[in-house]
Amino acid sequence: MARYRYLGIFLILVLIVAGCDREGENIPLNAPTSNIYLGDGWEYYNAGNYADALDAFSASKSRDAVNEDAYNGLGWTYAKVHNYDQSISSFKLLLSLTKDDAMKANVYAGLAMTYGAKQLVTPIEEVAMREELGHNAIENAQELFKIDPDYVFSQDSNVNITALHALIAQSYFNMQDFINAVKEIDANLENGYQSSLLSNQVISSQVDTVSAVVTPETEFNATVDANLDGQVVEVLSVKNMDTGVSYNILSFEQGGSSVTFYGNPIPTDEDSYIVEYHGAADYGLFLNNLLATISKYQ
């Protein structure tokens, strides 16, 4: 009986040793670690070798499924090869994993830049999609500012706070929200920009006295459509010519001539209104100036 017992122990040991050999064949003892692959990934990324960078970051993630910087690398690299949806997915997954503010800053910066890049390649006629992407870019940039107002991406110093403010201005421009693009530049990139547009007569202050078509909405309110003489950049105020009562500006046609407003006392067709606004004699010149200014900071 003892002889059979020893034989059984011997067979178990043989199986264990054989199993270890097979495991060694699958994962060599000297296999690169997750962090080694990660370092390779960033080296490839900085060299512009994005295909190998994706392979390295993917290998890093396979070795360690919670290596946050592997997802960070994938997000930035997918954006470089214009796979924007996969980039966004990688960043969003990382955002669900990380508790680290510095990594969250990378995520918000990456999402802002990726949404902005995707907005640029979205056809102009897809207005709703371009607006959604623009708002997403702006919102993520603003989340970044809350965490790190001096942010610089460690792998690319060109991705910084200045570039992200330019991204916000570009996003507004792409949504044809030109006055908010002007205000973003004025507040965060080039102080006094709007004043310079006025002093250089790219835009000018104008005052029109107009009659209007009133559309009653309720017994307490109405909206008014009025046509101005110039190409509108921004409407500043609307007042009743006789009473001086100010009205609320609902909307205006950028580059056009119409403004819609409302308020109480309820306006009537018989009233006349004084409209103060900024207009452009050459709207194309205004847009070219705006776009050139944004480009300086990208």
Query: 136-149 burial, b if ≥16 CB within 10 A, otherwise e?
Result: bbbbbbebbbebbe
* Residue 107: per-residue pLDDT: 98
Domain locations in the chain as residue ranges? 34-188, 202-280
What value does the mean pLDDT take over residues 75-97?
97
d(CA 252, CA 131): 18
* Residue 222: per-residue pLDDT: 63
Inform me whether the pLDDT recorded for 104 exceeds 50: yes
Hey, which CATH number is domain 34-188, 1.25.40.10, 1.10.357.10, 3.10.20.30, 3.40.50.170? 1.25.40.10
Inform me whether the pLDDT recorded for 167 exceeds 90: yes
| Greater pLDDT, 223 or 198 | 198
* pLDDT confidence bin for 236, thresholds 50/70/90: very high
Express each pLDDT in 8-39 by its tens digit.
433 333 333 343 333 334 545 556 899 999 99
Inform me whether the pLDDT recorded for 227 exceeds 50: yes
Express each pLDDT in 253-296 by its tens digit.
888 888 888 888 877 778 888 999 999 999 999 999 999 999 99
The fold for domain 202-280 equals Elongation Factor Tu (Ef-tu); domain 3 (2.40.30)
Express each pLDDT in 172-195 by its tens digit.
999 999 999 999 999 999 999 999
Inform me whether the pLDDT recorded for 100 exceeds 70: yes
